[in-house]
């Protein structure tokens, strides 16, 4: 069974290779400490395959080894496709042969109370079963924004999140195309629809989206995020999501409530302006295709993790990135920040002390700055700015206004898939199911799942 808590976040099965913005060598990394001895201690570091992130980790490893001559780092990687990454990490944990392990970060709202009887899944299972070292008292945790201390459970913090992206709510746009027709980046829902209408009147397809792989869900989930968080400070996100989950579980809220009907109406209005063949567009090629068509498709639905990919596909493209304006108030159309890579130390590690030294090393300010620049990640350290790349002007100004991406309602593992919410590929305009019917089916499925 897939990890349901990530179902509101469309993330490509292949981890996108992003272009590093500069040549970095291990010697430039901030290192301290030394070691000696004839035999070397092995430290095993494991993460899923992402070209830029893996290359940066290798540079960290080389610099750490230089500072600790008696240490040898062994790196393990696997792609997320075809269950390869879960298989590798399960093998490493079972054999107790991993010291620093990457995980997809979890928010506190992902953990249903034990009284519900709903079992957590994936990373949340490992945290709840105390298979990771509590990092709460580690000095390096003070470098990070406490509002982004996801991986928390019952007073402990079981990972340090070093990567975050805007996924749900994510939209790229072509600056020159908007300028050509005297249009501005929309800040409210009505402005967005007006801009899309204007492009249609010029014979332009407003929105490019990888419909074959369900990337239209970024729009649907992004609108839901913004309606849930409308009028609320970013720091209240987890409490908002927890309250929603509690109300779903108690039968006080469900998918047929006005908020979700409003979201579905706004989603359908936006989807009227997608390119005609969206259902056949795969995520693998979508960034490059959008980048190459500089005179059409002013908007592109995708996460910020693909920004450097777009820039590499067409270096001359003048483009930017902003959040779907899903509400009628510009102040509340903020980016939803998707927790991504978090580093953990398994309690089964035979080199816990060394593993903690490694985490301290890679999260030092200068070293972490190189990580966010190489990966295109939003910074989770207040002392390290989000990279100022050619397409990140809006992000640089607005990332600190964002909030942690919404967690799903607590759903039993054996529930029907639609209990987690609408499946956009089945619903209009991609499928034949009406949104009223879809929301009704989702509500019935969720109610049935918690009454078993």
pLDDT digits (tens, 9 = 90+) for 271-314: 999 999 999 999 889 999 999 998 999 999 999 988 888 988 99
State the pLDDT confidence band at 149, using cuts at 50, 70 and 90.
low
| DSSP string covering 292-303 | H-TTS--EEE--
pLDDT (0 to 100) of residue 6? 36
Query: Tokens 């009505």 appear where?
Result: 190
Q: Kindly tell me if the per-residue pLDDT of 422 is higher than 70.
A: yes
338, containing H or E segment? strand 336-339
404-428: buried (b, 16+ CB within 10 Å) or exposed (e) per residue? bbbbbbbbbeebeebbbbbbbebbb
State the pLDDT confidence band at 122, using cuts at 50, 70 and 90.
confident
State the pLDDT confidence band at 24, using cuts at 50, 70 and 90.
very low
pLDDT (0 to 100) of residue 386? 83
Q: Which of 238-242, 332-336, 403-407 has the lowest mean pLDDT?
A: 403-407
- Going across the sheet that includes 207-208, the strands are 207-208, 299-301, 170-174, 319-323
State the pLDDT confidence band at 19, using cuts at 50, 70 and 90.
very low
Closest CA to 326 of 254, 436, 225: 225
For residue 23, give both structure tokens.
Answer: 């040549």
State the pLDDT confidence band at 349, using cuts at 50, 70 and 90.
very high
User: Highest mean pLDDT range out of 12-16, 30-34, 376-380?
Assistant: 376-380
pLDDT (0 to 100) of residue 10? 42
At 12, give phi and psi (nearest 5°). Answer: -60, 140
State the pLDDT confidence band at 44, using cuts at 50, 70 and 90.
very high
State the pLDDT confidence band at 121, using cuts at 50, 70 and 90.
confident
* DSSP SS3 for 155: coil
Domains (ranges, CATH) in the chain? 4-166+338-402 (3.40.190.10), 170-336+407-450 (3.40.190.10)
State the pLDDT confidence band at 377, using cuts at 50, 70 and 90.
confident
350, with CB counted inside 10 A (0-12, 13-18, 19+), is: middle
Closest CA to 345 of 110, 64, 102: 102
In this prediction the pTM is: 0.81
Helix H segments across 129-236? 175-180, 189-201, 217-229
Query: Tokens 């998918």 appear where?
Result: 255
Q: Which residues have a Cβ under 8 Å from the Cβ of 244 and sit 6 or more positions away?
A: 228, 253, 409
State the pLDDT confidence band at 11, using cuts at 50, 70 and 90.
very low
Whether the bond between 429 and the residue before it is cis, its omega within 30 degrees of 0, is yes
pLDDT (0 to 100) of residue 360? 98
At 300, give phi and psi (nearest 5°). Answer: -140, 120
Question: What is the C-alpha to C-alpha distance for residues 128 and 320, in angstroms, rounded to an integer?
Answer: 40
pLDDT (0 to 100) of residue 368? 97
Contact 254, 448 (CB under 8 A): no
The total number of residues written for the chain in this structure: 452
Output the average pLDDT for the chain: 89
State the pLDDT confidence band at 39, using cuts at 50, 70 and 90.
confident
pLDDT (0 to 100) of residue 171? 97
Question: What is the C-alpha to C-alpha distance for residues 28 and 7, in angstroms, rounded to an integer?
Answer: 39
pLDDT (0 to 100) of residue 52? 79
pLDDT (tens digit per residue) in 171-185: 999 999 999 999 999
pLDDT (tens digit per residue) in 64-87: 999 999 999 999 999 876 789 999
């Amino acid at each position: 069974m897939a990890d349901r808590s990530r179902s509101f976040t469309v993330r490509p099965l292949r981890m996108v290779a992003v272009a590093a913005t500069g040549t970095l060598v291990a010697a430039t990394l901030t290192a301290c400490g030394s070691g000696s001895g004839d035999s070397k201690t092995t430290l095993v570091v494991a993460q899923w395959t992402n070209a830029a992130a893996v290359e940066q980790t290798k540079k960290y490893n080389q610099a750490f080894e230089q500072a600790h001559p008696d240490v040898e780092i062994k790196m393990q990687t696997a792609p997320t496709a075809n269950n390869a990454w879960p298989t590798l990490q399960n093998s490493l944990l079972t054999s107790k042969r991993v010291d620093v392990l990457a995980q997809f970060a979890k928010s506190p709202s992902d953990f249903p109370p034990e009284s519900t009887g709903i079992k957590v899944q994936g990373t949340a299972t490992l945290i709840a079963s105390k298979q990771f070292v509590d990092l709460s008292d580690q000095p390096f945790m003070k470098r990070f924004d406490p509002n982004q201390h996801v991986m928390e459970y019952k007073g402990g913090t079981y990972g340090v999140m070093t990567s975050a992206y805007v996924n749900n709510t994510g939209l790229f746009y072509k600056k020159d195309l908007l300028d050509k027709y005297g249009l501005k980046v929309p800040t409210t829902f009505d402005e967005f629809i007006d801009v899309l209408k204007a492009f249609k009147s010029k014979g332009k397809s407003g929105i490019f989206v990888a419909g074959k792989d369900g990337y239209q869900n970024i729009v649907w989930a992004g609108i839901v995020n913004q309606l849930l968080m409308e009028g609320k400070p970013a720091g209240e996100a987890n409490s908002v999501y927890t309250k929603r989950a509690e109300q779903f579980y108690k039968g006080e809220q469900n998918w047929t409530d006005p908020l979700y009907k409003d979201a579905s109406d706004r989603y359908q209005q936006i989807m009227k302006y997608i390119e005609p063949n969206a259902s056949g567009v795969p995520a693998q090629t979508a960034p490059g295709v959008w980048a190459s068509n500089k005179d059409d498709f002013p908007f592109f639905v995708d996460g910020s993790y693909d920004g450097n990919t777009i820039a590499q596909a067409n270096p001359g493209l003048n483009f930017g990135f902003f959040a779907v304006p899903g509400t009628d108030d510009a102040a509340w159309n903020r980016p939803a920040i998707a927790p991504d890579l978090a580093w953990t130390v398994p309690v089964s590690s035979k080199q816990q002390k060394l593993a903690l030294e490694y985490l301290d090393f890679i999260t030092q300010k200068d070293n972490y700055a190189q990580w966010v620049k190489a990966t295109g990640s939003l910074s989770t350290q207040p002392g390290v700015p989000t990279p100022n790349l050619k397409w990140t002007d809006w992000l640089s100004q607005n990332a600190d206004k964002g909030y942690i991406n919404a967690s799903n309602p607590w759903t039993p593992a054996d529930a029907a898939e639609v209990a987690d919410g609408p499946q956009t590929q089945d619903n209009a305009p991609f499928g034949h199911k009406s949104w009223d019917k879809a929301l009704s089916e989702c509500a019935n499925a969720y109610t049935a799942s918690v009454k078993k």
